[in-house]
Amino acid sequence: MNTYHDWLEAELQETLDEDMEIDLEDAVLSEEIRRIYRNHHPDQMDRKTYFHELLRLQSELIRLQDWVSHHKEKVVVIFEGRDSAGKGGAIKRITQRLNPRVARVVALPAPSDREKSQWYFQRYVPHLPAGGEIVLFDRSWYNRAGVERVMGFASEDQVEQFFQDVPEFERMLVRSGIRLVKYWFSITDEEQQMRFQIRIHDPLKQWKLSPMDLQSRIRWEAYTKAKEDMFERTNIPEAPWYIVPGNDKKRARLNCISHLLGLIPYGDVPHEEIRLPERVFNPDYERDVLPRELYVPQKY
């Protein structure tokens, strides 16, 4: 295999094999739910085409990673959106082949009592990147404009203070050299309902349903109004919002990755040629026989 296309075909076959394991999730779904979902998505992208494009984009993400690392760039990507809109799936595909020492995901839990007493942005600041790092926020400081506002976890005064502070906070990040990108994943009311139904009936996905997710169904219109206010007050030239239509998961992932790559002027960087050194053999070395109880049982 001495060409990019040879590598791509081999990697594509391996990825398809891995995807078959992931598809076991569908096996526990009822036939009726699966039939309804497929009827609502008649124009799904062909699996081989999808993975071919995904692997191509992921190879570009590796080039981006090398460029960020080489030039000590700092990148922050924020993922917000409706519950079940596909943020996690997009993040997973972005980071799948990247070095976790360069690209990391931040998904903070609910704030502690101590954190609630801090400056609002304080808990996020330690997670910002240093030179040569990419940080992806799976939800971010925009919790205050969304779930905290809608669910009453923040007062109107706190929300108003957030809206006054966040534009300048983000301008400070940009002035410090951080490339800040903000994505909103959007799906329709009907699509969210179907995805929630799938999670309810799939034991492998039920962990994704939280009480907050269920409340988002009841408060759909309140979340819509909160989103509109957030866009109006935080869509600044230094850090604009980009909306990713998410009803088609595969296309949403590809479109998001492609767009992200287009925002950053990355390029090739010099690499040292890698050569595998010769194995050194010591004639006086004898490998010890380890006790059998140290080994994992061979059940498979």
User: What's the rounded mean pLDDT across residues 85-99?
Assistant: 95
Residue 161: CB partners within 8 Å, gap ≥ 6?
Answer: 120
- CB of 146 closer than 8 Å to CB of 227: yes
pLDDT at 202: 64
Average pLDDT over all residues of the chain: 88
pLDDT at 27: 47
pLDDT at 224: 93
Residue 206 scores a pLDDT above 70 = no
User: pLDDT tens digits, residue range 115-141?
Assistant: 999 999 999 999 999 999 999 999 999
Whose CA is closest to 3, among 75, 59, 67?
Answer: 59
Residue 74 scores a pLDDT above 60 = yes
Q: Structure tokens of 297?
A: 């049982």
User: pLDDT tens digits, residue range 172-190?
Assistant: 999 999 999 999 999 988 8
CA distance 24 to 37: 16
pLDDT at 25: 47
Whose CA is closest to 186, among 279, 77, 99, 86?
Answer: 86
CA distances in angstroms from 100 to 92, 105, 146, listed in the order given: 12, 9, 29
pLDDT at 21: 47
pLDDT bracket for residue 229 (50, 70, 90) = very high
pLDDT at 24: 46
User: pLDDT tens digits, residue range 250-283?
Assistant: 999 999 999 999 999 999 999 888 898 998 888 8
Residue 216: CB partners within 8 Å, gap ≥ 6?
Answer: 82, 83, 192, 223
User: pLDDT tens digits, residue range 10-49?
Assistant: 666 666 555 554 544 444 455 666 666 677 776 788 888 9
In the sheet where 178-186 sits, what is the strand order? Answer: 103-106, 133-138, 74-81, 178-186, 241-245
pTM, two decimals, is 0.84
